[in-house]
Amino acid sequence: MKKLALVLLILAVAASFSFAQRGKTFIGIAMPETHVQRWVKDGNALKAAAEKKGYRAEVQWGNADQAQQNQQIQSFLNQGAKALIVGNINTGVNSVIRDAARDNVIVIAYDRLIMNSSDFNYFITFNNYKVGTLQGQSIETALNLKAATASAPKSITLFAGSPTDDNANFFFDGAMDVLNPYIDKGVLKVVGPYPRTSADKANFQRIATENWSGPIAKQRMEGLLSGDARSVTLDAVLAPNDTLARAIIEALKADAKYRTKLPTVSGQDAEFASMLSIKNGEQYSTVFKDTNKLAEAAILLADQLLKGQTPAIPGAVVASGELAKIGNTGTKFVVTYLLDPILVTKSNLQIPVRAGFYPANEASQITAR
Ligand code: BGC
């Protein structure tokens, strides 16, 4: 009898819980992939931030497959989502974004712009041009390019992110705005394809990395080592994020030429594995983007929009002037909120640690002497 009462009690609690859940406004969170670690963190942080504000939230990761992500978004819509936070994979997302707009669902493009779409109004991200500038500056400093001469030029090879991700253009152009003047002066030589900017689509495509895939970057680096870079010793590799930086470093380490000294390799995302790599003197730099703050800001934006308020997002600036381009989908400029990225090298590894970016066990490994 007692058992039956307990079972009934559990059922009642479960029912009232699911009733309470049903009563809550639902936010669907669609993240692009898990092979780049940051998105796992982003998804979890977004869900937690939404629940903290009293929403029901669900997160799904699309495995870098737009068809899969579209099904996930469609399922959010079927469940009655009132807002969607979307980090998309490619323009294949546009059909479901159109469906969302038709249902008056608020869509916030999260970190990645939804290209060629006019069916949404808001984008929240980091200053992606500045991310690239910081990558370029870290190479400029490490190679002491200001003092380099044309008689002893430094050499670099270039990698870019996914050609389907508009961020990859901003990262690259930011970096090249720092590096091009040295290339023009002849003190920095590019080994392999050299798109001066991302607008040189033919050459950009040659250095781009489909879906930000580590194995593809590794393979391309191996090809360079046995091809264009065979008779030079590279001083630097422009790598657009940490996942690709580590893949590139793996290829470099297998080459006897780089066994004692690796080229300067840039990165982005302050991934734990890259923080250790920087600490160990392998990867040179990363760019810290506090995605916990981005997630909180995105949910605050969703909350204000759902309540019909005029958005005001502390810690973010609305992109204007030149930076307004970051919010240009190709068919429309959307309102774009930018957070600030920070360069991290061996000398300031504590910055993301102090920001609470890692769980305790990871933090202690980064800070251990
Ligand atoms: C993000 C980067 C990330 C890359 C690969 C970009 O859109 O801004 O932080 O490293 O995608 O996932």
The 10s digit of each residue's pLDDT in 357-366 is 999 999 999 9
* pLDDT score for 7: 64
Q: How far is CA 24 from the centre of its chain?
A: 30
Domain extents in the chain: 24-120+290-340, 128-288
Fold (CATH) for 24-120+290-340: Rossmann fold (3.40.50)
Distances (CA, A) of 86 to 30, 52, 125, 244: 5, 19, 12, 23
CA distances from 210 to 64, 65, 105, 217 (A): 10, 12, 30, 9
Any ligand 1 atom below 6 A from CB of 269: yes
Tokens describing residue 118: 């006019």
Residue ID of nearest Cα to ligand 1 atom 10: 241
Please tell me if the CB atom of residue 271 comes closer than 6 angstroms to any atom of ligand 1.
no
Q: Is 36 in the pocket of ligand 1 (CB under 6 A)?
A: yes
Q: Has residue 2 got a pLDDT over 90? A: no
Q: Quick one: what percent of the chain has pLDDT higher than 90? A: 93
- Neighbour count for residue 308 (Cβ, 10 Å): 6
pLDDT tens, residue by residue, 324-359: 999 999 999 999 999 999 999 999 999 999 999 999
Which ligand 1 atom sits nearest the alpha carbon of residue 35? 12
Q: How much is the pTM?
A: 0.94
Give the Cα separation of 77 and 71 in Å (integer). 10
Q: Is ligand 1 within 6 A of the CB of residue 111?
A: yes
Q: What is the predicted pLDDT for the residue at 324?
A: 97
Which letter does DSSP use for residue 238 in this model? E
Amino acid occupying residue 166: D
CA distance 336 to 326: 7
Contact 46, 298 (CB under 8 A): yes
Cβ–ligand 1 contact at 165 (below 6 Å):
yes
Coil vs helix vs strand at 115: coil
pLDDT tens column, 201-244: 999 999 999 999 999 999 999 999 999 999 999 999 999 999 99
- Burial of 68 per CB tally in 10 Å (0-12, 13-18, 19+): middle
Collapse the DSSP code of 154 into the 3-class scheme (helix H, G, I; strand E, B; otherwise coil) and give the result: strand
Q: Report the pLDDT value the prediction gives residue 14, as an integer from 0 to 100.
A: 57
Burial of 282 (0-12, 13-18, 19+ CB in 10 A): middle
Handedness of CA 353, 357, 359, 361 (dihedral sign): negative
Atom of ligand 1 nearest to the CA of 36: 12
DSSP string, 265-326: E---S--HHHHHHHHTTSS--EEE--HHHHHHHHHHHHHHHHTTPPP--TT-EE--GGGGGG
- Ligand 1 atom nearest the C-alpha of 171 is 8
Ligand 1 pocket mutation, candidates 127, 128, 165, 288, criterion most atoms within 8 A of CB: 165
User: Does an H or E element contain 214, and which?
Assistant: helix 214-226
Residues 239-261 have a mean pLDDT of: 97
- CATH topology agreement for domains 24-120+290-340 and 128-288: yes
Whether 41 is in the pocket of ligand 1, judged by its Cβ within 6 Å, is no
Choice from 111, 170, 274 to test ligand 1 binding pocket (greatest atom count within 8 A of CB) = 111
For atom 6 of ligand 1, the residue with the nearest CA is 167
Residue 157 dihedral angles phi and psi, to the nearest 5°: -120, 150
Q: Which CATH architecture has domain 128-288?
A: 3-Layer(aba) Sandwich (3.40)
For residues 191 and 229, the answer to whether their CB atoms sit within 8 Å is: yes
| pLDDT tens-digit readout, 299-333 | 999 999 999 999 999 999 999 999 999 999 999 99
Distance between CA 145 and CA 149 in Å, rounded?
8
Quick one: pLDDT at residue 1?
Answer: 53
* First and final C-alpha spacing in the chain: 61
* Residue 81 tokens, joined: 């989502």
3-state secondary structure of 57: strand
- Ligand 1: which residue has its CA nearest to atom 12? 36
Q: What does the angle CA 135 – CA 140 – CA 141 come to, to the nearest 5 degrees?
A: 100
